[in-house]
Structure formats: structure tokens, C-alpha cells
Amino acid sequence: MRGAFQIACLISLMSACSGHRANTLPFSEVPDVIERVRAAELGAGDVVEVRVYMEEGLSGLYRVNADGCFEFPLVGVVKAEGLTSGQLATEICDRLKEGYLRNPQVSVFVKEFNSKKVIVWGAVQKAGAFKYEDDMTIVQAVSLAGGLKSVAAKNSVVLTRILDGQEHYYQVPFEEIGLGRAQNVHLQPGDIIFVPESLL
């Protein structure tokens, strides 16, 4: 609730002020590296596919349990929560080297990001938290929320994103994206999309 209140206050501030806005930019001004989805950390409920070269008995699908771990053949419990897929592959590889395989080659692919959500609220049909999908866009997220209400301020959508531990707010011209006049925005796990109501 505290985060929602902060965003609501921000929207009011943005409507009332036309001067400098701290941490607020049109999304077109955000560096490309931020626009793209970065490597996401794993969490409870995620499903990964582990492939060990030339070791079919070790390759397969594994679901991260509520403790952030899963059982892997030979090595036992593996902690996955907080790791990226690449880090998890390195962890399994290192564990397999400890007396099991001489030179294991391990790859990890995320099949389901069930632990990662994006939140859509405000002037949409079905506000809520939705499962993040690889390469997800803001248009997809709003579609999952049933689309915009007729009272939505379509070009004043606000995206909240955590970068280096700080909240950053970006204005997204949603209507312009739908008309093909602006680039679609790719989301990251944990993004919050707020659609304000039009003041007209």
C-alpha cells in the first residue's frame, strides 16, 4: 500500500507541475540497456531446464521449491533463488566437478518465470499482478489486465522500475505505441504500470 500511495502522489505531482521532475523521464530518453529485459534472478515456483552435455540422466526439468532450492541428481540440494540461469549453471557445474564428473558442461534455461510478476493498476479493466514472460512488453501487460478503460489517460501511463535499489518513474506514450508512432516498451520482472484517469 505504501508503494501505491507513493505512486499516486507522484501522479498528482506530475499533473500539477511542469518543471523539473526528479527521476522522471519520457521512456524514449532511457538508455537502451535499461529498455531491454536484463537477466532475471530465479525464485520459488520457477521451472528450469538443466542440460548436462552427454549426461541424459542428469538433464531435465526442475521446479524451484518454496525454500528456493531443488534436488539435483548426484549433488543433492541446489540453491537457485537469487541466481540467474547462468549463475545456476556455474553452481551445478562446480558441484558436479567435486568427485562426480571430470569436465561437465552445464546449461540452464528458464522455462517458467512463475516467481516474477508485473503489476498493472489504475484505469484498466482487471488490475492485478501478472506472471512475467520473457521479452514481455507493456502492451502485453495491459492486455492481460483487460485493456484500458475509456477514462484512461492513454499517453500518461507511468512505469515504475527498480534500478540499483531506487525507484525510477517513466512516462510511456501508450496510445502512440498502439498507433505505431512510438516504440513498444519491454518490461522487467517487478515493473509496476500505473494508468491514471484523464482529467478531461
DSSP 50-113: EEETT-TTT-EEEE--TTSEEEETTTEEEE-TT--HHHHHHHHHHHHHTTT-SS--EEEEEEE-
| CA 144 to chain CA mean position, Å | 15
What is the DSSP-derived secondary structure letter of residue 199? Answer: -
pLDDT at 3 over 80: no
Alpha carbon separation from 181 to 28, 31, 36, 158, 193 (Å, rounded): 12, 19, 19, 18, 20
Q: What's the mean pLDDT in 171-188? A: 92
C-beta neighbour count of 24 within 10 angstroms: 15
pLDDT at 19 over 50: no
Instruction: State the pLDDT at residue 147.
Output: 95
How, if at all, do strands 117-122 and 128-131 pair?
A: antiparallel
The strands making up 166-172's β-sheet, listed across from edge to edge, are 24-26, 166-172, 157-163, 192-195, 117-122, 128-131
**The overall pTM is greater than 0.75:** no
| Domain 47-112 CATH class label | alpha beta
Judged by average pLDDT, the poorest of 33-37, 82-86, 108-112 is: 33-37
pLDDT at 60 over 90: yes
- CA angle 101/107/112 to nearest 5° reads 135
Q: Find cell 558442461 and name the residue.
A: 105
Q: What is the pLDDT of residues 84-97, one digit of tens each?
A: 999 999 999 999 99
C-beta neighbour count of 61 within 10 angstroms: 12
The strands making up 60-63's β-sheet, listed across from edge to edge, are 60-63, 47-52, 106-112
Per-domain boundaries in the chain = 2-38+116-195, 47-112
Q: What is the pLDDT of residues 140-149, one digit of tens each?
A: 999 999 999 9
Look at residue 129 and give its three-state secondary structure. Answer: strand
pLDDT at 157 over 50: yes
**CATH domain 2-38+116-195 topology:** Outer membrane lipoprotein wza fold like (3.10.560)
